[in-house]
Structures are given as C-alpha cells and as structure tokens.
Amino acid sequence: MSLLSNIGYILIGFIALVSIFLIVLVLLEKKLHLRFLKGRDWKNHLYIEKIAKIDVNKSKESMVIFDKLIKSFFREAFHIQGNPEYSELEKIFIKKNNKKATEICNQMTQYLYSKEDITPEKLQSMIILMAEIISSNKIISKEEKEEFDRKSMKNQPSKILDPIKNIIKKK
C-alpha cells in the first residue's frame, strides 16, 4: 500500500529528472550549434588574418604572398579547379556577376603582368577589397553547396525555371 500511496511522488520525481535531462540536452545542442557556425567562418577569418599581416611597404614580396592567398581563397570558396590565371578567373566572375572579384582579378592582372610597380597605397586598397570579398563569400563545402542549391530549388523553383522558359520561348 505504501508504494501506491507514494506513486504520485515517484512520478513527480521522474518527471523532474527527465525535465532536467532535456534542459541539459537543449543547452548542449545550442552550444554545439554555435560552435559549428563559428567553425564554418573559421576559414574566412584565417584568410582575413593572413591578408592583414601583409606588409604593404615591401611591395614585391607582398604581391607574391597576396597572389597565393587570393588564388587559394578563390579555389576554396568558389570550387575552382586547377591554378587558373587571373584572366580566366575574371571571365568566371563576369559570368557569376561578381563585380568585386572581377575587379581584384583585373587589378592583379595589371600589376603582375606589367612592369609597373605597385604603390603601398594601391596594395592597401587591394587588400581592403580582398577582405570585403572574403567577408561576403563564405567558404562552404561542396556538399553544403549542393544542399543549399537543392533547398533553394525546392523553395523557389519558379525563379530558377523562368529564365529557362524565356530561353525556350525565344527559340
């Protein structure tokens, strides 16, 4: 009889333990989610830190380092294969309508392939432009990109299919 009379207290205790367990799980999930989101931006911050360390007063050495960082970022962020020249990258970014990336490729072509030396002020402005590009283009994996494309196709198929329909009608 004592077990039956105490069943209410046992249930309340059990519910309290389960509630505390669920609260701990929710807090852990939020913490891990925040860590995951920070991890996604980590690569971008790494590139910004490397670019910020470039010494603008040593233009020749700085341009070599800057060139390697730009190409490395473009390969990683835009999933570009190989080691394309800036003229090829410029064509890719014109197709993607990325004006800032097109501009940096144009400037890099101008200063790398001409005999003209770059001034510290011009190098600093190019570094600032590249930092803006890095900040606005998050590095995501190919799997995340495919998932993002799939979700946007599912959410707004009419926006993706409208240009295709217009092309078919013109023919």
pLDDT digits (tens, 9 = 90+) for 84-141: 899 899 998 999 898 999 999 999 988 888 877 888 899 899 999 998 988 888 776 6
Residue 47 CA: distances (Å) to CA of 1, 4, 130, 162: 71, 66, 10, 37
| Residue 150 is assigned to a structural domain of this protein | no
**Alpha-helical runs (H) found in the chain:** 2-5, 7-52, 59-78, 86-95, 99-113, 120-136, 142-155, 157-170
| Residue 24 is assigned to a structural domain of this protein | no
Taking the CA atoms of 52, 58, 63 and 69 in sequence, report the sign of the dihedral they define: negative
Domain count, the chain: 1
The domain of 131 spans: 41-140
Q: Please say if the pLDDT value at position 19 is more than 50.
A: yes
pLDDT digits (tens, 9 = 90+) for 133-170: 888 887 766 666 666 667 666 666 555 445 544 544 44
Q: At what angle do helices 86-95 and 59-78 cross, to 10 degrees?
A: 40
| Residue 83 is assigned to a structural domain of this protein | yes
| Residue 32 is assigned to a structural domain of this protein | no
